[in-house]
Structure formats: C-alpha cells, structure tokens
Amino acid sequence: MQTIITAAAIFSMYLNAAENQNSNYYYNADMENGKVTTMYVYTEDGQSLSGKVAYHYEYDEQDRLVKKETMRWDSQRNQWVNERCLELTYTTEGYEVAMRKWDRNGQAYLPVMEKAVYHYAFNQVMAVNYLRRQAEDKDFTSEGGMFVMNPTEGILLASR
C-alpha cells in the first residue's frame, strides 16, 4: 500500500475545484510539463476578481509532492505574501510532513516546529504521529497520534 501525493493528484484537485459551479471562488493555475505549479484562488469583488490565496507546488523526480507553499494576497502592497510551507520527505516506511511559518521580518521561513510522521504500521494500516517542539533548540515531542485504515484496498466497489 502506497499513499503519496503526486502531480496527478494535484491536477485532479485543481480540475475538481475549477469545475464546481456552486463555489464563491474562482481558480486559475500555472502549469509546467503537465503539472500544476501554482494554483490561484480568487473571490468576486464587484465587477472584478480579487486574489485570495495561492498555492505553489514543487515535485521530485518521481512526480511526488515535496513542497506546498501557501501565499495570501496583500491588497495594500498589491502582491502575494508567503504565509507557510509544507515540506514532504519520503522514506521506505512512509513520509513526513513538516510545517514552516513565514517570518515577515526576516523574509524567510522559520525552522520546523510542527510535523506529522506517517508510517506503515502493518497491512492496510498507517500510523500518524503529530510532533511539536517548544523551541528551535528543543527536541520534538509527541502531541498525539492515530491509526488510519484503508479498508477499500483490493475491494470491488461496484459490479455489473
């Protein structure tokens, strides 16, 4: 069982969002080599659209998501401003998602203070551990965890 976020999953998410006729949001995307690199979300502001949020995606050589940056539209400065970043690293046992917040004063991402570690516990069960540290020079401590089951693996969901 392999659970990863790929370029195809991001593209599918974009198509689903863009086709939702009942949404108050409008979507646009930058694409490169068939992959969504940035997805923009807008809201209607009278007769025009206003920027709301943008997501920038980076992938590895296997088309797995390795970085997702979130940016908010700053109408005062008329530009996208970094907010946070998710960094994904993959191992043979699973993967890790680390969250970094943007430091506006330093104009750089702060060190990782929170992360989730996903690893395959046993057949069709993934363990998720949430870790946090109180300071940059402190070790990560567990904030909790859970098991996630995938009961649909190999099960036929529809038949003729």
pLDDT recorded at residue 12: 62
Is the pLDDT at 146 greater than 90? The verdict is yes
pLDDT recorded at residue 159: 45
* Distance set, CA 155 to CA 1, 127, 149, 150 (Å): 13, 21, 13, 10
State the chain's mean pLDDT as an integer. Answer: 85
pLDDT digits (tens, 9 = 90+) for 11-33: 565 566 556 666 788 888 999 98
Is the pLDDT at 57 greater than 60? The verdict is yes
pLDDT recorded at residue 160: 46
Strand partners, 109: 102
pLDDT recorded at residue 86: 96
CA torsion 34-39-40-44 (nearest 10°) is 90
**Tokens 């929170």 sit on residue:** 114
pLDDT digits (tens, 9 = 90+) for 98-115: 999 999 999 999 999 999
Is the pLDDT at 154 greater than 60? The verdict is no
Predicted confidence band at 153 (pLDDT cuts at 50, 70, 90)? Answer: low
Single-letter amino acid code for the residue at 29: A
Predicted confidence band at 89 (pLDDT cuts at 50, 70, 90)? Answer: very high
Q: Both tokens of residue 140?
A: 């990560």
Is the pLDDT at 156 greater than 70? The verdict is no
Strand partners, 103: 108
Q: Do 38 and 28 meet the contact criterion of CB atoms below 8 Å apart?
A: no
